[in-house]
Every structure is written in C-alpha cells, then in structure tokens.
Structure 1
Amino acid sequence: MKQNRIDQLLQRLLTNKLTSHQRDAVRYWLANSEETDEKDAALKQVWDNTPSTPKKSVEPSLLDTYAKIEQAENNVVKITLAKRLLRYAAIFLLPLVSAFSVWMIMDHRQSSTLDMLTCYVPNGERWTINLDDGTTVQLNGGTLFVYPKAFGKQERSVYLVGEANFSVANDAQRPFIVQAKSLAVQVLGTKFNVTSYPSDDRITVTLETGAVKVYEKNNPHSGQLMRPNEQVSYSQKDKNFTKATVDAASFASWTTGGLFFDHQTLHDILAALERSYGIHFAVDPTLKDTDQYTLRIKPNESIEDVLHILVQIAGNQMSYKRDGQLIRLYQKGKEVSQ
C-alpha cells in the first residue's frame, strides 16, 4: 500500500495535479532520508517508463545541480546531498533527459567528490572536448558525457551514454576508464570508439591504435584484451562478448561527417541517421526494418542523397515523403500511414 501511495504521489507531481503547497511538501519529502528505498523504487519506475528526447538546455540545469552539491561542507554530506539533489532534479528534467542518463549519473556521482561537468550533444551535431589531461573526445549526436573538471591522482574516469571517439593522452600512472552502462573500457593511451546509446542492448568498442581492456564493471579481473582493428560487442541481455576484426577507421567516420554501416538493420541505420542529421523517421508497419545493409556515406552527404541511396539498396521497394524534419518511409506503391 505504501509503495502504491508513493507511486501515485509522484505521478500527481509530474502531471501538475498538486497545489503549490503540496508541491513544496513533496519536494521536501524527496530530499529527506525517510522511506528511501520506496522513493528509489518509485523514481526508477518513473524514469524507466518515461520516453524522452534530451535537449541541449539540460546542461545548464545539471551544472546548476552540481554547483549546489559542491556547496556542501564535508564529503559525507556532499555524497548524500548529491544523490538526493539529482533525484530531485530528475523529476523536473524528465522532459529533457532520458531516464537512463539521469539514473546513470545518479548511480555513479555518489562515489566521487570531483567537480563533475556534463555535456549533452543534440541530434544533428558533433562536438569536440579537450579534457584536463590532454585527451581529446569527439561526441556524436544524442550523446551525454559526464567528466571531471580535473582528474584525480589515481585514475581518469568518465561516463558515456551515446557515442564518442577518444584520443587518450598517455599516462602510465593513471589509467583512463570509460564507464558505459554495465561495461568499462580501460586504457593508458590510445585511440578508440565507444557506442553505448540508451536504446541499444549492445555496447560496441572499436580500437584504432594502442591497446584496451573491456570488462564488466562487476568483474574487472575478466574481460577482453583488444588489439588495433578489433571490435568487441557486448550484449547486456545475454552477458556475452563477441570479437571481430574490422577496419576500425571506418567506424569512426562519423567524426568527419561520414557514416559507415556494416551488415546493420534498417532500424539501426535510421537511428544513426536521426542522430547525425537531426531528423525523425516514421516507418510504416508494412515496411520490414530488420533487413541488414552495408553502406558507406561520404562526409557531409545531404539527407536527400542518403535517402536516394537507401531506396536503391532496398531494391527500389521503398519510398519516402518528407515534411520538414519528419520523413515517412513506406513500401513503394502503398500510401504512407498517417
């Protein structure tokens, strides 16, 4: 009964069905230490069930939250307050940040007292960040990246939801660790690509130069050692690794405006195009999006040219209609569903 009451209370808060006095009371209750387990369960359920499209405006909101966290006077209070403030902030950032992203930040932020910064890259854009140690990170569209303003003395840890290409500065005394969902990628100095979007079951690491170790966070003594031009894919559902030899540079072509797909489904290709071009696809149910294709898109190719290529490789069995940033795909000869 108590859990149902908490669930209902959060839903009323999210749907603006509380008075201003009631909202203040709920906010205070969220920040205190009572019924912690029940609030954790209810918040996670809300996040898991909330579809959302992150926007660039989330960055100042999260940075403001971190600023409040840093005002705490001692580490014990800081860690506890960090967790509660991020839960509190998550309720009002739900339309802006994906549920998984907020949960990831909240889960890992409590274990660190470093000054953390957050960068979100909207669909259709690519950003480059230079980290404190000289590492360069290129971020693809739809990516959330959390990193310290200055690294500590023992390791260099960053958190990724989305896709990034890393050129890691060599530092034998401080390993560089990318935390991506349930996986960790550890290096000393190298160049590699990590793909870990919230909607994807698989986390993919592609190594260009150097050497890396990829392992499950709860099993750091196991995992996969990688050599250049190797790609490791990890299934969170099946808990298994697969390794293949690839042309690693091709999988990083997005950093220069191109795209490369190797036996990927139409569904995955469309998702990547949405992130690269800032558009949205509506696929008619009669169109099969599980067929696999291999194609290479040149840097800065227009979306119209890309759509023309897709139609060709689909055997001219597919058509499309464009209305601004919305593109509807359907079987050729059949009117698109509304």
Structure 2
Amino acid sequence: MDKHHIRILITRFFENDFPKESVLKFQQWFIRKDDSVVKNEVLNELWEREEAETDSHTLLALDEINKRIGKNKKTVKLPLSQRLLRIASILLLPLIGGLLTYWVMHDQSGSSAPKMEIAEHVVPDGEMKQILLPDGSEVWLNAGSMLLYSDDLSGSIRRLFLSGEATFRVEKDPGRPFIVKTQYMQVEALGTTFNVRSYVDSGTAAVTLEEGSVRVDIDGKVKVSEVISPNEQFVYDHRQGKTSRLQVDAELVSRWKEGYLVFEEASFEEIIRTVERRFNVTVYYDVRKYGGGRFSVKYTPYEDVRQVLTILETLNPGLKWTANNNTIYIK
C-alpha cells in the first residue's frame, strides 16, 4: 500500500472517522509488520505536525508503558514508541494497548526488529469464535474482541493480550505461567477457567473465576494484587481508580459463549454496548434520560435484537424504540 493511502487510513482512524465495525479491522492491519516503515513515517509526521502538552496522567501512563515494555530508554531506540505519548495525548488512541503488547511479545534483547511471529484473532461485532491455543488451552472470544499471542506460545511464560471479552480454559503447566494482559490489568493462572472482560469503550474491566485460582494485578491509578476464588468477580473502574470484589455465579457470567446475554446489576450503557456488539447494530439514545439505574435480566440465545429491545422496554417505563436496518433509535 502506498504512503498516501496509509496516511488517509491512519488519519481517519485518529479522527474517529471509522465506523465501529471497521475499528478491529484497522487494528489488525496496523499491528502487522507490512509497510511498518511507512506507518512509522506517517506517525512521525503526526508527531511533528501536532502541538500538544501532556498532563500528569499521560506521563504516569508513559512511565507504566516503559516499565511493562521493559526497555531501557538510554540504550534502545524505539522511534515509534517514543512518539506514542504525544500521539496518545492528542488522539486518545484506543489501540495503544495492542501496539504495546505487540512490542512486549517481541524480543527484548535490545534490538527493535521483531523476532517472533504474532498470532492474531479478531472477532467483529455479531460473531463469536472458539480457539484452541498451541498449548492445548481453549479460548472463547466474544463479539468485538481481539486476541494476540506468539504463534507457538513457546517460552517460560505464556503471554497473551486481550481487548474485549474472552473465557479461558487453561491447560495446566506449572512451570509456565499463563498470563492475559489487557489495557488495565494482568491476570495470571496456572490451570483454571476464568472470564476476562476489558473493552476499550467501557469504564470497567472485570475478571470472573469459574474454577482454580488467578492473580489479578493492576498498576495504574491504584496498585493492587489480588488472588480471587471461584465464583468471585474482581472489577476495576479505571476512570475512578476503584476496585471491588463481588460474589457471582461464574458459570452464568460465561454463558455468553452459548449465546445467552446475562446482566446482573448492569448499567443501561453496558446493556446497550453489549447489544450493539452481539447483534452488530448501532443504538442511539439520550444518556441523560437513560444513564441511571441498574438492571438484572437474561436473554436466551434464540432472541433477536428486536425481542431484546422489547424486554428492555418493559424494564424502562416510557422507553420507545424504532429500527432502521442496523440502526436503533431509543426515545
């Protein structure tokens, strides 16, 4: 692809000019090594063109990034990553977590050249996917999710990056920890079944344990390291910097992989975003009117988006909706 078209793609994405169904496709293309030199040149141009100042949160985020990448800034040249601070402060780039993980999963001996291949699975809205990992572990990816890992999961640590939601059934290998990294947390398990939900457009990330044990680490606005037990859910509100532990039915939480939609004390926003991802639709509503309240409801795999909205209508007196193809309007 020539530089002109690459510049158009990147600029449109930074300006939030992509429809939501195209975002994951863009992320998948952007992290590939194809045309990496030209992509770097375009980001350099953005770096030089924009005038922006970082705040304390951005600087803390960069410090966290440097720690997680494990790079020594004095001896390693990473032109692209050196520009991410400014680009992120300007554009609030949602795929920054994916890019950083892409670098982390490559050789960290001091060479900026990638030394291993990355397997990537992108699940668009309206779909789900089951994956068998090279180590025998199983993963179910929910709609609107992306999973990255080294193509053979070799090495002393099995590292994966998740953006979205997935249920993991981990093959036991005590000598090789299994670590799932998301934008806001790290989850470590030796052999267990657990669910991770961490969408970039959500204010919270959650880990729910079905069996075994996992350790959840957060190094952001708060620094937390917690071991959770079966039927516990650990929730991190990254906007407020708060954490909580809830008692839940873990099997019920993971029933999305069977087609169910299950909400326990969920916000209206969370329900709508889940509906958008599940049915590949766009929903417009007045957040001031429907922003409050918590809801508990379960939808069966056989219900379509209209049936789901009809049930939601009964839970919200006065709610009315209309549909035009894949666009829903709530009044």
Range class of TM-score, shorter chain: 0.7 to 0.9
- The partner residue of 1:109 within 96, 99, 102 is 102
Corresponding residue SS for 1:110: helix
Change (3 A) 1:231 1:60: closer
- Structure 2 distance, partners of 1:63, 1:329, is 36
Change (3 A) 1:288 1:58: closer
Change (3 A) 1:51 1:179: farther
Change (3 A) 1:51 1:196: farther
Change (3 A) 1:233 1:214: same
Offset, 1:109: 2.4
Contact 1:58 1:120 in 2 (8 A): no
Contact 2:131 2:139 in 1 (8 A): yes
Corresponding residue SS for 2:320: strand
1:65 alignment counterpart: 33
Offset, 1:136: 0.9
2:187 alignment counterpart: 185
2:156 alignment counterpart: 154
Offset, 1:131: 0.9
Change (3 A) 1:157 1:217: farther
Offset, 1:137: 0.9
- Structure 1 distance, partners of 2:287, 2:220, is 40
Which segment drifts farther, 103-112 or 140-149? 103-112
Change (3 A) 1:266 1:238: closer
Change (3 A) 1:265 1:68: closer
Matches within 5 A, 1:187-226: 187-217=189-219, 223-226=225-228
Offset, 1:254: 0.8
- Structure 2 distance, partners of 1:271, 1:116, is 29
- The partner residue of 1:246 within 245, 248, 268 is 248
RMSD of the TM alignment (CA)?
A: 3.7
Contact 1:233 1:243 in 2 (8 A): yes
Offset, 1:217: 4.6
TM-score normalised to structure 1 length: 0.71
Matches within 5 A, 1:155-170: 155-170=157-172
1:14 alignment counterpart: none
Contact 1:178 1:186 in 2 (8 A): yes
> Where does the alignment leave 5 or more consecutive residues of structure 2 unmatched?
38-75, 108-115
1:301 alignment counterpart: 303
Matches within 5 A, 1:241-320: 241-284=243-286, 287-315=289-317, 317-320=318-321
Contact 2:234 2:246 in 1 (8 A): yes
Change (3 A) 1:49 1:59: closer
Matches within 5 A, 1:124-163: 124-163=126-165
Contact 1:138 1:255 in 2 (8 A): yes
Change (3 A) 1:213 1:303: same
Q: Which amino acid aligns with 1:106?
A: L
Offset, 1:140: 0.9
Corresponding residue SS for 1:186: strand
Change (3 A) 1:303 1:269: same
Change (3 A) 1:226 1:81: same
Offset, 1:299: 1.5
> Where does the alignment leave 5 or more consecutive residues of structure 1 unmatched?
1-19, 28-42, 70-78, 331-338
Corresponding residue SS for 1:171: coil
Corresponding residue SS for 1:268: helix
- Structure 1 distance, partners of 2:288, 2:219, is 41
1:76 alignment counterpart: none
1:100 alignment counterpart: 94
